[in-house]
Amino acid sequence: MADFRMPSLGADMEDLSLVEWKVAPGDAVRRGDVIAVVETDKSAVEIEVFDSGVVGEILVQAGSSVPAGTILATIETGESSSPSASPPVEAPAAGESPAPVEAPPAPVPGPVPKRVRMSPAARKLARELGIAEEGLQGSGPRGAVTREDILAAAEAGKQGPQAGMRKAISAAMSRANREIPHYYLSSTIDLSPSTEWLKAHNADRPPEDRLLIGALLIKAVAMAVRKVPELNGHYIDGAFRSSERVHVGMAVALRQGGVIAPAIFDADQCTLEELMRRLKDMVSRAREGRIRGSELTDASITITSLGDRGCDEVFGIINPPQVAMIGFGGIRQGPWVLDGAVVPRDLVTASLSADHRVSDGHRGARFQATLAKRLQEPEKL
Indicate whether 140 belongs to the interface with another protein (CB under 8 A). yes
Indicate whether 238 belongs to the interface with another protein (CB under 8 A). no
Cβ proximity of 51 and 77 under 8 Å: yes
Selected binder of another protein within 121, 200, 337, 343 (CB under 8 A): 121
Residue type, 179: E
Applying CB under 8 A, the span of 48-56, 116-124, 172-180, 248-256 interacting with another protein comes to 116-124
Indicate whether 122 belongs to the interface with another protein (CB under 8 A). yes
Selected binder of another protein within 43, 74, 84, 146 (CB under 8 A): 146
d(CA 292, CA 260): 12
DSSP state, residue 265: T
Residue type, 221: V
* Interior/surface letters 294-312, b for 16+ CB within 10 angstroms, e for the rest: bbbbbbbbbbbbbbeeeeb
Q: Nearer Cβ to another protein, position 62 or 144?
A: 144
Indicate whether 115 belongs to the interface with another protein (CB under 8 A). no
* Interior/surface letters 132-152, b for 16+ CB within 10 angstroms, e for the rest: bbbbbebeeeeeebbbebbee
Q: In what helix (H) or strand (E) does residue 214 lie, and over which residues does it extend?
A: helix 213-227
Q: Nearer Cβ to another protein, position 147 or 182?
A: 147
Q: Nearer Cβ to another protein, position 142 or 255?
A: 142
Indicate whether 282 belongs to the interface with another protein (CB under 8 A). no
Residue type, 152: A
Indicate whether 147 belongs to the interface with another protein (CB under 8 A). yes
Cα 133 off chain centre by: 21
Number of residues that bind another protein (CB under 8 A): 14
Indicate whether 129 belongs to the interface with another protein (CB under 8 A). no
Applying CB under 8 A, the span of 51-59, 140-148, 214-222, 317-325 interacting with another protein comes to 140-148
Binding interface with another protein (CB under 8 A): 119-124, 139-142, 144, 146-148
